[in-house]
Structure 1
Amino acid sequence: MGPLRGLSRGMQVFLLVDVLLVLLLVVLLITLPRGGDAPGPAAATPTPTAVADAAAGDDDEPGSSESVAFDLPSGNIACEMSPEGVVCTIRSFTYAAPRVTGCESPTGHVVRLDAEGFRFVCEDDGVPQLPPDRAELAYGAQETQGGYTCASGKDGVTCTDAAGIGFRLARAQWTALP
């Protein structure tokens, strides 16, 4: 008799996905490079290795401290937001995979926005799979968590912090903001 025996199949799947998302977030937090390694000012053309300066404020804004996870209606992009930042994963893209300093693994599928700025993440564990059956963020809708806002559009997802620093991610291209 396992501890999940009395729960419905749907609840068991929900709990399993929740546990996997927490583990993924912990792994990302452990493996992400810490700030301060970028030399000089950022180049005029955005590069995934350049980390934009963080907003001067705190992330201690009123509101929920829980994570919010969603998929875009296309099913190609999934994001998870928390007061600490945003992580978005894109299943399929046609842009040239960006280089991540010190990374020998694939890149281009995972982006992160937090107090250290916007950057692509080294995919040391291989190309990540998008979790199934998450809430959908309809085109034209937006979600806010802490100091971060993500908006869903037919042209992809746009996520920014309170200072307007962030990214736009779509199948054909990515753009660092502002």
Structure 2
Amino acid sequence: MAGRGLAGLSPGMRAFLAVDAVLVVLLVVLFLAVPRGGGDAGAGEATASPTATGGATPTAEATAEAVAFALPSGNIACDMSAGGVECRIASFTYAAPEVAGCEGTTGNVVRLDAQGFAFVCVEGDPPVAAGAGVPVLEYGSQESAGEYTCRSGTDGVTCTGSGGVGFRLARADWTELP
């Protein structure tokens, strides 16, 4: 969205972008502040963030932190917090769903929060592949934040909230859960 400014965005989208920016800064600060263990104790585990669970049940402290990750392919990247999950897919082959009132593009961004699952209207350029600085969530591993959990798999990312409500997102298709 470089050069386009924020004037064309709805107040809700501007607020979401501001919160997202704060969460990314918080994640970077947390990542830099958490001491790294030495030796082979963590060999083979996911390196998505300081709260990577590698499939284990996360602690209460870990679930309160914001988390950002990309799948190993780099095509899907997600941001999680206690408030919800937003995932972006750079390249997909499914038919983009319609979003009421959207004059931008759809299909690249999905959100799961207290209001449920929805595709997001993207004003401006759609997302590109995850950058080199985004932590990778290895296939078979999961991350949690608040009541939300996302699992990385060769079939895409599956994210759920309380009661199993959520989505699965992959290059070829998407599914609303349950």
Scaled by the length of structure 1, the TM-score of the pair is 0.65
What is the distance in 2 between the residues matched to 1:92 and 1:147?
A: 28
Q: Which runs of 5+ in 2 are unaligned?
A: 1-11, 18-58
Number of equivalences: 125
Q: Which runs of 5+ in 1 are unaligned?
A: 1-24, 31-60
User: Would the aligned equivalents of 1:159 and 1:167 in 2 still touch at CA under 8 Å?
Assistant: yes
Match of 1:134 in 2: 134
1:27 to 9, 14, 17: 14
For the 8 Å contact 2:75–2:130, the answer to whether it is kept is no
Q: Which amino acid aligns with 2:72?
A: P
Displacement of 1:72: 0.2
User: Partners in 1 of 2:175 and 2:13 — Cα distance?
Assistant: 26
CA distance in 2, matches of 1:163, 1:118: 13
- Counterparts of 1:165 and 1:126 in 2: how far apart (Å)? 29
| 1:163 aligned counterpart, secondary structure | helix
Query: Structure 2 counterpart of 1:120, which letter?
Result: F
Identity value in percent? 58
Structure-2 residue corresponding to 1:173: 173
Contact 1:63–1:146, Cα closer than 8 Å, also in 2: no
Alpha-carbon shift at residue 130 of structure 1 (Å)? 4.3
Give 4+ residue runs of structure 1 displaced > 4 Å after superposition: none
Match of 1:78 in 2: 77
Structure-2-length-normalised TM-score: 0.65
* Residues 176 and 143 (structure 1), Cα distance of their counterparts in 2 relative to 1, 3 Å cut: same
Q: What is the deviation of 1:28?
A: 6.3
Counterparts of 1:43-82 in structure 2, within 5 Å, are 62-64=60-62, 65-82=64-81
**Is the contact between residue 67 and residue 80 of structure 1 (CA under 8 Å) also seen in structure 2?**
yes
- Name the CA shift for 1:147/1:164 in 2 (closer, same or farther; >3 Å): same
2:87 maps to 1:88: yes
